[in-house]
Amino acid sequence: AQKVTQAQTEISVVEKEDVTLDCVYETRDTTYYLFWYKQPPSGELVFLIRRNSFDEQNEISGRYSWNFQKSTSSFNFTITASQVVDSAVYFCARRTKYSGGGADGLTFGKGTHLIIQP
Amino acid sequence: DGGITQSPKYLFRKEGQNVTLSCEQNLNHDAMYWYRQDPGQGLRLIYYSQIVNDFQKGDIAEGYSVSREKKESFPLTVTSAQKNPTAFYLCASSPRDRVYEQYFGPGTRLTVT
């Protein structure tokens, strides 16, 4: 299986600091999709962004930004001026083919637990 | 409101008992999925279903069973054969034309003692 690696298990910063969550993916495909999800303490996964391999433009949404670098197979996520409400587990994922039936789906990294201290 | 419902939020069972986790969606999605989440392990796929009356094993299907009799419903049974059933279980669904775009339910935390 083509893996998604989130090397940072846990990050702790003080509120208002900027923080970057790393994501490195493996791929043999020419076209692919990458995703970021947020999992707050309540448990539900919240979709943040989808990026396809055609589009290498960086994306900004408010305090969130994503840096997609095909040359290094990375799709990093930066939170600017972090807030306590940003505390959550963040997952990076990529589109994949499931081995069972060959259907499209998602392969997730192990997640990064982000703690924002007041 | 459209969405995915999982009930209950917390479930407790004795070892040796089968238990069924509910997942219902009213998004009119064709595909549905079950994931297991353990601390530090990320999400691992248990089973998925692309269409009614069809489902496929994921990476960790042993000790689990599913059914897909209705489009809206994809219940997961954790059997007594599952060696370490205590975990957080997440259900998801996706539309036919964007199956990689998964929407998640709130999850069920199962504790087996």
Mind listing the pLDDT tens digit for each residue in A57-94?
888 889 999 999 999 999 999 999 999 999 999 999 99
Q: Do A108 and B42 touch (CB under 8 A)?
A: yes
State the smallest CA–CA distance between residue A100 and chain B in angstroms. 6
Q: Do A110 and B57 touch (CB under 8 A)?
A: no
pLDDT at A96 over 90: no
Q: Are B36 and B18 in contact (CB under 8 A)?
A: no
Q: What is the mean pLDDT of residues A30-35?
A: 88
* Whole-angstrom distance, CA of residue A39 vs CA of residue A51: 19
Q: Are A44 and A37 in contact (CB under 8 A)?
A: no
Strand A24-25, strand A88-97: pairing: unpaired
- The pLDDT confidence band at residue A99, using thresholds 50, 70 and 90, is low
Token duo for residue B102: 């998964």
Give me the pLDDT at residue A113, please: 96
Q: Are A66 and A59 in contact (CB under 8 A)?
A: yes
- DSSP sequence for A40-108: -TT---EEEEEEETT----EEETTEEEEEEGGGTEEEEEESS--GGG-EEEEEEEEEE-TTT--EEEEE
User: Which residues of chain B neighbour A49 with C-beta distances below 8 Å?
Assistant: none
State the smallest CA–CA distance between residue B83 and chain A in angstroms. 22
Q: Out of A9, A105, A106, whose CB is closest to B40?
A: A9
Q: Do A42 and B106 touch (CB under 8 A)?
A: yes
- The pLDDT confidence band at residue B66, using thresholds 50, 70 and 90, is very high
Count Cα neighbours of B23 within 13 Å in the Cβ-side half-sphere: 31
Q: Are A51 and A76 in contact (CB under 8 A)?
A: no
Check residue B9 and report its DSSP letter: S
User: Which residues of chain A neighbour B109 with C-beta distances below 8 Å?
Assistant: 43
> 3-state class of B7 per DSSP?
strand
User: Which residues of chain A neighbour B99 with C-beta distances below 8 Å?
Assistant: 103-105
* Whole-angstrom distance, CA of residue A117 vs CA of residue B15: 39
State the smallest CA–CA distance between residue B80 and chain A in angstroms. 23
